[in-house]
Structure 1
Amino acid sequence: MVYRWQLWLSPRPVKRTPISSEPRIVQAHDAALFEFLKEDDGRWVVRETHHFNNKVVRDGLSGPPLHIHWLQTEYFKVEKGVIGIMKNEKEIAATKEDGILEIPAGTRHRFWAHSSTTEDLVFKVWAEPQDIDHSFDENFLRNFTGYQRDCQVQNLKPSPFQLILLSYNSSTMGTPPFWMPLWLLKAVNYILAFWIAKALLGYQENYIEYTRPNKTTAQD
């Protein structure tokens, strides 16, 4: 239950768009398409298409800010275009010829459609190990993307506290560009997520309108 004073402190979408059963979802500002797939070996993956004709993509803003996954290694495989990846302090521009790119757990990173690309950026992304609790998975992406799109459609600014809570619940957290001890960064994010976002503002770790009921949910 959300109280009026919590809505006053931090406005949120009055209605959430049901996307829990959709095999593909659209990012805020129609910048990117997310398709949830299952590979032959059983892994879930997401195919992301970042549309070159979208200003958000051309400005390099369709990817997430700098962040860390502390339980999982993330992998990228480009199918079309050029992806930019910041891996700690090193910037990478990669194409399909570069094969699978690995971002080890605990690495500061972000990604975007690189400025050298002249077409849609299409790539697959996944994290391992899979099927663990509180992980970077399909339902995290559904909640993170669904919330931001509903905010954009309803002319609201997404709450950083809600985004921090959604991320922390999936063992993911934003990070400054400079180095911080992982334990300190986790402590700060925990306080922001559970003391402020959840306890004070009444946000949730996930929402039924966005979340598929089974953890293994990618489409065959």
Structure 2
Amino acid sequence: MSGDPYLGRVITAFEGGITTRVITHPSHPDRIFAYEVTFLLQHPRVVAVAAQKPPLHFHPHQDEYLQVLEGRLAVEIEGKERVLVPEDGEVKFPPWTNHRLYSPVSGGADDDLKVTKFLLSAESTPELFRLDTVFFENWYAYQDQIVVKGDKIDLIQVMSTFDAGGSYLSLPPWIPFSKTSARALGIVVGRWLGGILGYQPFYRKWTTDWQSACHKMEMSVFQRRFADRSKVD
């Protein structure tokens, strides 16, 4: 990750309730990114959204890895919930696995739990639309618009940003070919229709490495008009 413009950057969301520090991962040179994420479980913004689970989703191109360093973290994998602790070590989410992670609901002896800290990383891939820091920076910033500023969730915007980050919202498992259909829907609605309607997957005001974001958007005929490399906010 030498020369990475994000190295050492701290991405803050929910008015400091969640912080993500970009780190090197020398023991895993095949990882495209590694973050140390901290949830302040008693922060009012985190408490306010604790009962609302993030969207269930999958990544078709990358293994994603998670390791709890402190506290507890709830994960849902293919419909089954599990609470991870440091003793569980590193957990892998293979490609096409429906999953989500979220802060655990406090209860009983854990009511005084204040912090959850974990490592998050993903496998490198030649795919251009993939999980990387450009995606996470914009996804956290968009969530801030919803949680802090009170904006309404725009599903097309979510699908646009997710698609550009190699991520797709899960459909109910009873739908035939649900994962293939979900990916196709994410591309058609998020990339094609979203681009036509003026939805950008990435925004200059939220992006540190704007050149990389522009490179991604230039690869889509529906999004290339948003890739203004000279744009300064």
TM-score (ref. length: structure 1)? 0.77
| Cα pair 2:14 2:45 within 8 Å, conserved | no
1:66 aligns with 2:44: no
Q: Please list, as runs of the form range in 1=range in 2, the aligned pairs for 1:71-150 lying within 5 A after superposition.
A: 71-116=61-106, 117=110, 118-130=113-125, 132-150=127-145
1:191 aligns with 2:193: no
Q: CA separation in 2, counterparts of 1:143 and 1:21?
A: 17
Change (3 A) 1:205 1:150: same
- Counterpart amino acid of residue 181 in structure 2: L
Q: How much has 1:61 moved relative to structure 2?
A: 5.0
Q: Determine the structure 2 residue equivalent to 1:12.
A: none
Aligned alpha-carbon RMSD (Å): 2.5
Q: Please list, as runs of the form range in 1=range in 2, the aligned pairs for 1:199-218 lying within 5 A after superposition.
A: 199-200=196-197, 202-211=198-207, 212-213=209-210
User: Where does the alignment leave 5 or more consecutive residues of structure 2 unmatched?
Assistant: 1-5, 213-233
| Cα pair 1:76 1:102 within 8 Å, conserved | yes
The one of 23, 28, 44 aligned to 2:9 = 23
User: Where does the alignment leave 5 or more consecutive residues of structure 1 unmatched?
Assistant: 1-19, 216-220
Larger helix share, 1 or 2? 2
Q: Determine the structure 2 residue equivalent to 1:7.
A: none
Q: Determine the structure 1 residue equivalent to 2:225.
A: none
Identity of aligned residues (%): 23
The C-alpha deviation readout for 1:96-130, integer Å capped at 9, x for no partner, is 10000111110100111122552311001111134
Change (3 A) 1:126 1:63: farther
Q: CA separation in 1, counterparts of 2:149 and 2:100?
A: 27
| Residue aligned with 1:38, SS | coil
Q: Please list, as runs of the form range in 1=range in 2, the aligned pairs for 1:5-44 lying within 5 A after superposition.
A: 23-41=9-27, 42=29, 43=31, 44=33
